[in-house]
Amino acid sequence: MGIRVGIPRCLLFYQYGAIWEKFLGELGAEVLVSGDTTRQIMDAGGELDEVCLPVKVAFGHVHELADKVDYLFLPRMISVAEGQYTCPKIIGMSDLLRTNMAGLPAIIDVDVNLRQKKRNLYKAINEIGKIFNKGPLASFYAWHKAKQNQRKVTVAALAGRRVALIGHPYIIHDRQISMDVIKRLHKLNFNVFTPEMIASRDAEQAAKAIGKRIFWSYSHHMAGAALAYMKPGKLVDGIIFMTSFSCGPDAITAEIVSQHAHSNGLPYMLLTVDEHTAEAGFVTRIEAFTDMLNRRCALC
């Protein structure tokens, strides 16, 4: 039996999970990914104070994996773009876990910091490979094969009403946290477009309208993607920005997106969720917003 490595289905898993799982498998690990978020997983991190809901959910996923694996895979993603940082909660996730949870297995939290030197990624790959007794060549080959497993998402030209759902992937694609918002919008006959459907170069180009690069790289891409959807040509009929309560970076990003949506004459709605969000009120707001979009488009 190989070394068992657990990957929590939370936070950056929704962006890099497929690559991580393939990479570790190529290194010879037996990879175990935690299941979909449930109410029980969400409640497991409820005792934490002053952190956002996705971090509480992360604790629940780690709790599910802790006694089943030899290692937890939580790379410390300090920076993924030149001159920018990721969110503080992502950078400090492994420290939060060690401080607040007992009986944890070893955590693979190698630093990934591309803020100044992209070569840092190769250093991280080599350090991870050493854990599995792999040399640099075998480690880099495993990473190369994993990168080929990366999923590409593009915007398709679809008929019908269209709405841009802007938010972190670990919020909008976690059906428990988001209350399955994408499926709800589909049932209301709306096509849903998300930030990862906009290529990085297109988001970067659109974000120039902000006038200044946002300090947090993922927030910068979200804002750029939202602005790309607002370009002439009417890619979408409205914008929904979804965030979790107490997220500092999103408070800034949401305001930027809101101002540009109003300037472009696009309807905009902010949805904020936490563990106490009531489903009835949440559904009512979505239905009211989409009904308004239908009426507005009918008059166009």
Strand 4-7 and strand 71-73: the pairing is: parallel
DSSP code of residue 196: G
Residue 168 has pLDDT above 80, yes or no: yes
Residue 157 has pLDDT above 60, yes or no: no
Whole-model pTM: value is 0.92
User: Could you report the per-residue pLDDT of 14-52, keeping only the tens digit for each?
Assistant: 999 999 999 999 999 999 999 999 999 998 887 777 789
The mean predicted confidence, pLDDT, of the chain is 91
Burial readout 117-130 (b: 16 or more C-beta within 10 A, e: otherwise): eeebeeebbbebbe
Nearest to 79 by CA among 111, 117, 113, 120: 113
User: Could you report the per-residue pLDDT of 187-222, keeping only the tens digit for each?
Assistant: 999 999 999 999 999 999 999 999 888 989 999 999
The answer to whether 230 and 223 have CB atoms below 8 angstroms apart is no
Residue 183 has pLDDT above 90, yes or no: yes
Domains parsed from the chain with CATH numbers: 4-147 (3.40.50.11890), 161-298 (3.40.50.11900)
Question: Mean pLDDT, to the nearest integer, of 158-174?
Answer: 91
Q: How far apart are CA 78 and CA 174, in angstroms?
A: 23
Please report, rounded to a whole number, the percentage of residues in the chain having pLDDT higher than 90.
77
The answer to whether 82 and 121 have CB atoms below 8 angstroms apart is no
Nearest to 5 by CA among 79, 90, 55, 74: 74
Q: How far apart are CA 182 and CA 193, in angstroms?
A: 9
Residue 75 has pLDDT above 80, yes or no: yes
Q: How far apart are CA 64 and CA 61, in angstroms?
A: 5
Residue 248 has pLDDT above 90, yes or no: no
Residues with Cβ < 8 Å from 283, sequence gap 6 or more? 179, 184
Structure token digits, residue 260: 């540009």
DSSP code of residue 55: H
Please report, rounded to a whole number, the percentage of residues in the chain having pLDDT higher than 70.
96
